[in-house]
């Protein structure tokens, strides 16, 4: 982050153009998810990076760049700390199948 601020004069944040929410037991039961904790993908921007990589509604994010994701704050932190010019490595659970995706990132610039 400091490197971006020094180089560009502002911070670049990684964006994959997908919405997510924390899974609760009630949400898991209502959606028929295979686990009742973690983060579920709730929206994917058409033709955005997440869509292009194959991320789908109801995918459960298990890990980002090898870091386990236990809730929405963990996903937010992982994307915030990720280098904006590199693909985001995501491990997801789709039903009972674990899938690895390389999601290109769209960097958003924030003024200092």
CATH label of the domain that carries residue 85: 2.30.42.10
pLDDT tens-digit profile of 2-15?
Answer: 555 566 665 566 78
Output the average pLDDT for the chain.
Answer: 85
User: What domain count does the chain have?
Assistant: 1
d(CA 8, CA 30): 45
For the chain, the helix, strand and coil percentages under 3-state DSSP, each to the nearest 5: 25, 40, 35
Matching residue, tokens 């937010």: 76
Look up residue 111 and give its two tokens.
Answer: 């003024």
Specify the pTM. Answer: 0.83
Give pLDDT, residue 105.
Answer: 75
Return the bridge partners of 60, or none: 40, 93
Q: Please tell me which residue, 19 or 6, carries the higher pLDDT value.
A: 19
Percent of the chain with pLDDT over 70: 82
Q: Which range of residues forms the domain containing residue 66?
A: 2-111
The string of pLDDT tens digits covering residues 37-73 is: 899 999 999 998 999 999 999 999 999 999 999 999 9
Q: What is the mean pLDDT of residues 80-105?
A: 89
Q: Confirm if 37 and 70 have CB atoms less than 8 A apart.
A: yes
Which residues, in sequence order, are CB contacts of 68 under 8 Å at separation 6+? 62, 74
pLDDT at 104: 87
């Amino acid at each position: 982050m400091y490197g971006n601020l020094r180089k560009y004069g502002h911070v670049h944040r990684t964006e994959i153009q997908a919405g997510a929410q924390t899974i609760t037991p009630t949400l898991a039961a209502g959606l028929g998810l295979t686990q009742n904790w973690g983060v579920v993908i709730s929206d994917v921007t058409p033709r955005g990076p997440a869509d292009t990589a194959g991320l789908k509604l109801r995918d459960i994010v298990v890990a980002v760049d090898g870091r386990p994701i236990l809730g929405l704050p963990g996903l937010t932190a992982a994307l915030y700390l990720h280098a904006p010019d590199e693909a985001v490595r995501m491990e997801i659970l789709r039903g009972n199948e674990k899938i690895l995706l390389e999601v290109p990132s769209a960097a958003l610039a924030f003024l200092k």
